[in-house]
Structure 1
Amino acid sequence: MSVSSSNLFADNHDTEQDIIDQAKEINKEVKKRQAETQANINSEIGGEEPLPLNDPFAGDSSLGSGTAMISGGDQTEERSEMSLYNFKLVGIIEGSYEVYTSLVDSSGEVVTLQLHEELSEGVKLVDVRLNEAIFEKEDGTYMIINFNNQIKETDEY
């Protein structure tokens, strides 16, 4: 009886070894298929695409400097963080009862204002037209920004 017991043990050991060998073969085949798939993808893509030199989602790089020319004059205005000169007009939403304007800064952060809401202290959204938003400054002058990022300062609008 002891002979048959050792014989069974040897058969079990051979079966386990066969299973391990089969698993290794399957693993090799899977790795081979993955390599072929990756090679196929690389041949279709043709390598990495070059990254753009600027981030298209970060806004206009011209918004980052410290001063801006005011349209219609030779004045320059120092920009505070929430100055209108640090923003681009990106959206106007006008409904039956409400009007909203969306501006984006150079970091891509969107600021949405409702009519008569202040962008910064002393700069309030007072009117919206089809292609522009009108802000009133505390000194009674107006700043008009359009979708081309042109800002005009006027005494009336």
Structure 2
Amino acid sequence: MSKSTYHCCINEDVLEKFNLALLLNKEDAGDVLEKYMRQYISYSFSKASEIYKTSTVLQNTRVNGEANSDTGKAIFRIPRWAKKSNQYNHKIVRAYFQIESELGYVPLNALEKRCSDEINHSDTYVRDFRGNFNQMKIDSPKSHGKVFEIENENVIVWGYIKEILMEYKEDFCK
């Protein structure tokens, strides 16, 4: 493999610490920089691939108009839910984000307790939590659209719609 030279300006303090680290680890600057360049390239292509995959799925879903477990109909509903704070879907997602912020994870029993407590948590109260939450765990013709999954008694966001949900997180947390 042929090698090329690459020149750039680096902060003096960073360069000094980099040189010290090289001495400590007995490594060659070129080898270390090439290793990190490879990691950066891999990360960048992986990120671009995810963006392309998501936009392709959204385009394909819009073209054929179908929503199923492969297309995630919640992708189209989340923007509406985010604006309607009185809807049960909004309240469940809001409670999810509140608990996640407090604990770092969301136990199913904590989500159910919060959504069932009209006195202490009126902003997230859902009259029929179980029925509405179950509708948010599946993609079927009559469901709300899949948003959540259960993993070891904890509620997690379904990876397929996570990006769009995070895009509207602020609206759910107002």
Q: TM above 0.5, one fold?
A: no
For the pair shown, the structure with the greater C-alpha radius of gyration is: 1
Relative contact order, higher structure (CA 8 A, sep 6+): 2
TM normalised by structure 2 equals 0.27
Structure showing the higher helix proportion among its residues: 2
Structure showing the higher strand proportion among its residues: 1
TM normalised by structure 1 equals 0.29
